[in-house]
């Protein structure tokens, strides 16, 4: 790690982070959300809307790996027996396939299936942490909070999909637990561009009510400074 801290240009204000207390958190960059035939598409979504986040995340991930920051990947999904999937979630709506049904990438949103895995472009290294979560937030029913405490993490650089669902839920959970969350705007995406825009606005409004919003270029600049 070249410098121990860096200042990221962000809204509503720049923020200085101690890199040793900062983790990159990549939310749910799984085939189930990103590719045709997965959970996202079964809900009726156009999965091509999410592709734009991949390259910005890849550039930040490479820089963060070089700088030696902690990297955490999350995956939304359920046990094969669905014991961690609330009926209220499984029965929701009228998807073309439900959670646990067989699909072209294996059973929909089930741990261990091809569709549940992280896309090749952002695949975790052996040394990186992968959190399997049954909900939208990364803290609920996971070891995420304990791991962040163990590593002395106080700040989260957050990216992934989708902006208004799992990214926002995780940022809200983290904010209430005292973490400073800096969300990387071009490293997030939504099936609904207007929800992406508003999801980011909600985070940075009111003096940064949930956190800060930056972009991948600003993170790279701060890490290189
Ligand atoms: N449907 C949707 O937009 N998102 C999710 O169900 N999960 C995540 O955001 N990862």
* pLDDT tens string 160-192: 999 999 999 999 999 999 999 999 999 999 999
Strands 22-27 and 155-161: parallel
Atom of ligand 1 nearest to the CA of 191: 3
CA angle 106, 109, 115 (to 5 degrees): 45
Distance 163 CA to ligand 1 centre (A): 8
- Average pLDDT value for residue range 13-18: 98
- Average pLDDT value for residue range 13-27: 98
| Ligand 1-lining residues (CB < 6 angstroms) | 28, 33, 40, 43, 76, 136, 161-162, 165-166, 191
Percent of the chain with pLDDT over 90: 99
Rounded Cα distance, 156 and 14, in Å: 15
Atom of ligand 1 nearest to the CA of 43: 1
pLDDT at residue 107 is higher than 90: yes
Read off the pLDDT band of 155 (50, 70, 90).
very high
pLDDT at residue 200 is higher than 80: yes
Report the pLDDT value the prediction gives residue 29, as an integer from 0 to 100.
99
Read off the pLDDT band of 3 (50, 70, 90).
confident
Which residues are marked as active site? 28, 133, 166
pLDDT digits (tens, 9 = 90+) for 119-150: 999 999 999 999 999 999 999 999 999 999 99
Rounded Cα distance, 21 and 88, in Å: 37
Read off the pLDDT band of 28 (50, 70, 90).
very high
Integer distance in angstroms from the first to the last C-alpha of the chain? 11
Report the pLDDT value the prediction gives residue 1, as an integer from 0 to 100.
52
Atom of ligand 1 nearest to the CA of 167: 9
- Output the average pLDDT for the chain: 98
Per DSSP, 142 falls in state: S
Q: Is the pTM higher than 0.85?
A: yes
pLDDT digits (tens, 9 = 90+) for 33-57: 999 999 999 999 999 999 999 999 9
User: CA-CA distances (angstroms) from residue 19 to 75, 89, 141?
Assistant: 24, 37, 27
Report the pLDDT value the prediction gives residue 2, as an integer from 0 to 100.
52
């Amino acid at each position: 790690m070249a410098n121990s801290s860096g200042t990221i240009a962000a809204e509503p204000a720049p923020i200085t982070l101690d890199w040793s207390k900062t983790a990159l958190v990549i939310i749910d960059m799984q085939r189930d959300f990103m590719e045709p035939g997965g959970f996202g598409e079964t809900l009726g979504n156009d999965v091509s809307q999410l592709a734009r986040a991949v390259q910005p995340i890849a550039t930040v991930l490479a820089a963060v790996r070089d700088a030696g920051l902690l990297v955490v990947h999350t995956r939304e999904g359920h046990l094969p027996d669905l014991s961690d999937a609330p009926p209220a979630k499984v029965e929701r709506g009228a998807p073309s396939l439900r959670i646990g049904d067989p699909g072209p990438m294996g059973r929909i949103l089930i741990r261990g299936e091809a569709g549940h895995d992280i896309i090749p472009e952002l695949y975790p290294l052996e040394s990186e942490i992968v959190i399997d979560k049954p909900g939208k937030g990364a803290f609920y029913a996971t070891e995420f909070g304990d791991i962040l405490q163990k590593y002395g993490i106080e700040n989260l650089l957050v990216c992934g999909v989708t902006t208004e669902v799992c990214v926002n839920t995780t940022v809200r959970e983290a904010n209430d637990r005292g973490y400073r969350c800096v969300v990387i705007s071009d490293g997030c995406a939504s099936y609904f561009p207007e929800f992406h825009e508003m999801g980011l606005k909600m985070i940075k409004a009111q003096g940064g009510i949930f956190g800060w919003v930056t972009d991948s270029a600003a993170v790279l600049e701060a890490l290189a400074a």
